[in-house]
Chains A and B, each alone.
Chain A
Amino acid sequence: MSEVAAPEVRLSVLRPGESGEVVRVEGGGSMRARLLELGILPGTRISMTRTAPLGDPIEIRLRGYALSIRKVDAASILLKDTDLARAGGNE
C-alpha cells in the first residue's frame, strides 16, 4: 500500500480527451443522488469529451453514453488514475 494517497482531480478540470476513475461524489441531496443513479459511482471510468463553445457546460462520456454537465456540478465528482490517452468508458 502506498503511503501517499493517489492525487484526486475534480472532473471539472479535465481537458478534452482526458479521463479518470471516480473516487467519490461530494455534496448531498437530490443532485448527488441523481448523479449516482446515472451511474457516476466509485469505480466508474469517465472521460471528458469537449467543452461547450462558451466555456460551460462540458460533455463527458461514461457507461457508453454522453452527458452534458455544468462545471459547478462536475466539480463535485472526484477522480483518480487520470489518463490522457484512454478514451471512452465502460458500458
Chain B
Amino acid sequence: MSATAKVLVLGNPNAGKTTLFNALTGSRGKTANYPGVTVERREANVRIGAFDCDLVDLPGMYSLSARSAEERVASEAFFATDVGAALVVCDATTLSRHLYLAYSVIESGRPTVIALTMTDDAESQGMQVSAAALAEALGVVVVPVIARTGKGLPELRAAIANLVVSPVAPIDPAWGDAFFDVLAHLEGAFPEESGSPRLRRSHALSVLLAQSDETHGPLAPRVRAIEAEYDGDLVLDLVADRYRRVDAAVRAAVHGQSLHLGTERIDGILTHPVWGLTVFAIVMALLFQALFSGSEPIVAWIENLVASAQDALGAALPEGPFTSLLKDGVVAGVGNVLVFVPQIAMLSLFIVVLEDVGYLARVAFVIDRVMRALGLHGKAFVPLLSGFACAVPAIIATRTIEDRRDRLLTMLALPFMSCSARLPVYALITAVVFDPSARVLGFISVGALVLFAMYALSVVTTLSAVAVLRRTVIKGHPPAMLLELPPYRVPSVRNVALAVRDRTLSFVTSAGTLILAITVVLWVILSFPRDAAIDSRIDADVQTATDRGDAERVRELANERQRLQLEASAGGRLGKLCEPLLEPLGFDWRIGVGVIASFAAREVFVSTLGIVHGTGNDSDEGSLPLRAQLRAARRTNGSPLYTPLVGVCIMVFFVLAAQCMSTLAAIKRETQSWKWPLFSMVFMNTVAYVVTFLVYQVGRALGFH
C-alpha cells in the first residue's frame, strides 16, 4: 500500500455524507474540480491512525450507473486504479435504497466499510437497527455514527485504518446461477490493466444498467451484445437480484419502519396550495429583505473602507498616474469584489439552510409544473428570483441544480432579471425625461408605469432566452424530474458555515481576480491619454479663481477638468468612434462613454453621466444639478438629447445588455471556462442592441423623438 491511501466516500444524497465527511476531516476539505465538467469534489488529507489518507467526497449517487456527464465523472472516479478503500454512508431510516449502492460497491471488490447514519432518528421512531446483524449479512464492517455529536467516529477511523493496513476485498456476493455467463462476459468488456476481474465486471455492470449509450459511447455496443445473449429482461433481473439480497439483509437487521410523521404534517402545510404559497412568499420576502437592505450596512461599511483607503493613499503618495492606478484601479477593483461578499454570503446562507433543511426540494416539487412548461428546472426558481436583487450571488446559487445543462441554462438566463443596480439608472432617467405629475388613466404615474414595463420586459426576456437557448445552444431533452423529498432535518451548523465559506471564497479568489483586472483596464481606458493642454489651461483658471477666493468656481473647474479629460481619453474617443453605431439607437457618444464605463457596474452609468455632463463623479441619481444638466443637454443639431423616447431606449438597453463584469466573472468561475461568459456577453449585447434599435426606430416612426 502506498504511503497515502485514497479513500472514497460515497452515499446517496441526503445520507448525511457531507456532515460525516466534514466531521472526519475537521473542516479541512478543499474543493477541487474535475476537468471539463462543473462537478466538484471535496477532498482532504487526514491522518487516520498511522496513515495519511486522501479522503475524497464523491457527489451523492443512487447507484454506480452513470447516466449523465456529471454522474460519469463520479463513477469513473470510483473505478479508477488508484483507489484504496471505499466508505459508504447509509441512512438507517431508508436502509434498503442505501444498501443498493453499498452492495454495488461490495460487488466491485473494493475494501469497504459502511457508516450507518441517522441511527438516532431511527431510534426515535421506534426502529431497531442492528449494525452487527448488517455486518454479518453484508460481510463488511458496519459502524453506526452520529456525526453531529462525534459518536462512533473513533470506531469509524479505526475501521478505515484497518482497511488501509490490510485491504481485503469483501466476500463476493452470491449472484443467481442465471447470471453466470453474463457476468463472465462482462468481465471481458474492459482491458485487463483496468483492474481486477471483479472490478471490471462491476464496471461493465454499471455501464449495462445505466442504459445510457450517449453517456458511455464506445462501450455501449459491447455491453449491448452481452445483453442480447440473455434470455429475458436482463436489467430487471439484475436489479431485482440485488434488491433481493439487500432486502434479506434489511430483514435480518431492522425491526420497525420510519414513518416520519413530523415531516408528513409539515408537508401538509408547506405543499398546501394556499398555505404553502403563503409560506413561500414570506420566505422569499425575507430573502429579499436580507439581500436588499440587510446587506446594505455592511456594503456601506466596505465602501467607506475603500474610500478611506483611497484617501489615505492619495494623502500619502504624490499625485500622478501611479497613485491614481493604485487608488482608482487596484483599490477600487478590490472594493468592487469585496462589495459582493455580504450578498453572496447571505444568499448562500439562505439557500444552503433551505436545502439542508429539505425545503428546497418542496419548492421544486410545488413549482415543477410551471418551470417545466418554461423549460427550467424546479430548483432554478429561487436563484432566478434572486436575480431581481443581484445576479452575482444568484449565479453562485445555481449550484443546487445538479444537471449541468439545466444549471448553465439558468446561469445564462439569469442576468436578464432586472437587478437592483439597474434601479439608479431607471430612477435617474425617469426623473429626467418624464414629468413627475404626468398621469396615465388618471392616477398611475408615467414613471411608475415605465418602471413596471421594464420589469415586465426583463421577465419576458428571461423566459424567452430560456426558450431560445433550450432549442439552440443548450440542446438536449430536459432531464426527468425524479426528486427525493427528504425528511425535514435540522441542518448542521458546520456544514452550512463551510458551504458558505466555500462559495464566498471561491468567488473572491477566482472571479475576484478577473474583476480586479477589468477594473484596472477600464481605469486605463478612461484615464489615458491625458491632454496636457487641458490641464495647464484649467490649472491657470483654478489659480485665478483661488486668488479671487471663489470656491464655487474652483469646484466647477474641477468638474470641467474631469469632463474634458474623459472626452480626451481612450474611452471618450471610443465613445465618439462608436457614435455611428449608437445613433440608430438614439444614443450619442456621451451615452456611449457611460455604457463603456458602466461595464464595471451598472450604477457607474450615473456617475459617468455626471462627469460627461460636467457635474462631477460624485453625482448620484438624486442629484438635482445632474438632472438639470441632462434636461439641458443638446445634440449637435440643437435638439434635446434626453427625450422620453431616448430615455426609454436607455432603460431598455440597460435591462438587456451585459453591463456587469462581475456577473460575467461569476459565470466564468462557475462554468470553469471563458466560453460561456463570452457567449453571455455577445448574446445579451446583441439582444440589447437589436431590441433598443427596434424601440427607437419604431418610436421615431410613430412620431416620437
Contacts and interface: CB of A to CB of B under 8 A. Distances in A.
On whether the two chains bind one another, the answer is yes
Contact of A31 (B94, B276, B480): B480
Given A56-B369, A91-B258, A39 B96 contact: yes
Contact of A36 (B239, B254, B264, B365): B239
B504 interface: no
B94 A67 contact: no
A36 B369 CA distance: 24
B484 interface: yes
Interface string B7-46: 0000000000000000000000000000000000000000
A28, A37, A49, A67 pick with most chain B CB within 10 angstroms? A37
B637 to A, nearest CB: 56
Contacts of A29: 211-212
A69 interface: yes
A91 B100 CA distance: 12
A38 to B, nearest CB: 6
A34 B482 contact: yes
Contacts of B247: 90
A54 B366 contact: yes
A57 B67 contact: no
Given A55-B369, A66-B484, 5 more contacts: A59-B267, A63-B97, A64-B258, A66-B486, A70-B481
A39 B483 contact: no
Interface in B94-112: 94-97, 100
Contacts of B487: 66
A30 B482 contact: no
Interface string B273-290: 100110000000000000
A30 B239 contact: no
Interface in A13-44: 25, 28-39, 41-42
Contacts of A31: 480
A91 B95 contact: yes
Contacts of A34: 62, 67, 480, 482
Contacts of A73: 480-482
27 contacts: A33-B65, A33-B239, A34-B480, A36-B236, A37-B239, A38-B97, A38-B482, A52-B271, A53-B273, A53-B366, A57-B365, A64-B257, A64-B258, A65-B484, A66-B487, A67-B482, A67-B483, A67-B485, A68-B368, A68-B484, A69-B482, A70-B368, A70-B481, A73-B480, A90-B96, A91-B95, A91-B257
A49 to B, nearest CB: 8
A39 B272 contact: no
Q: Which 3 A-B pairs have the closest CB atoms?
A: A53-B273, A54-B369, A66-B485
A7 B523 CA distance: 75
B250 A91 contact: yes
Contacts of B243: 39, 41
Contact of A39 (B100, B236, B370): B100
Interface residues of A, number: 36
B62 A37 contact: yes
Nearest to B64: A37
A52 B257 contact: no
Nearest to B233: A24
B361 interface: yes
A57 B254 CA distance: 31
B215 to A, nearest CB: 8
B210 interface: yes
A28 B257 CA distance: 32
Interface residues of B, number: 51
A82 B161 CA distance: 50
B202 interface: no
B3 to A, nearest CB: 37
A41 B372 CA distance: 27
Interface of A: 25, 28-39, 41-42, 49-50, 52-57, 59, 63-70, 73, 88, 90-91
Contacts, number: 131
Interface in B75-95: 93-95
A70 B480 contact: yes
A86 B361 CA distance: 26
B480 A36 contact: no
A1 B673 CA distance: 64
A68 to B, nearest CB: 4
A42 B233 CA distance: 13
B63 interface: yes
B68 to A, nearest CB: 9
Contacts of A66: 260, 263, 484-487
Contacts of A52: 271, 365-366, 368-369
A38 B246 CA distance: 13
A33 to B, nearest CB: 4
B240 interface: yes
Contacts of B254: 91
B551 interface: no
A63 B239 contact: no
Given A41-B239, A63-B94, A67-B484, A30 B365 contact: no
A66 to B, nearest CB: 4
B67 A69 contact: no
A37 B366 contact: no
B365 A91 contact: no
B235 interface: yes
Given A56-B368, A63-B94, A30 B211 contact: yes
B94 A64 contact: yes
A37 B94 contact: no
B421 interface: no
A28 B96 contact: no
B209 interface: yes
Contacts of A30: 67, 210-212
A63 B209 contact: no
Contacts of B63: 37
Given A28-B211, A64-B96, A88 B239 contact: no
Nearest to B67: A30
Interface in B369-419: 369-370, 372
Contacts of B260: 66
B257 A68 contact: no
Nearest to A89: B257
B678 interface: no
Interface in B468-506: 480-487
B100 to A, nearest CB: 7
Contacts of B364: 68
B227 to A, nearest CB: 11
A53 B269 CA distance: 11
Given A36-B236, A53-B366, A68 B211 contact: no
Nearest to B276: A53
A87 B16 CA distance: 27
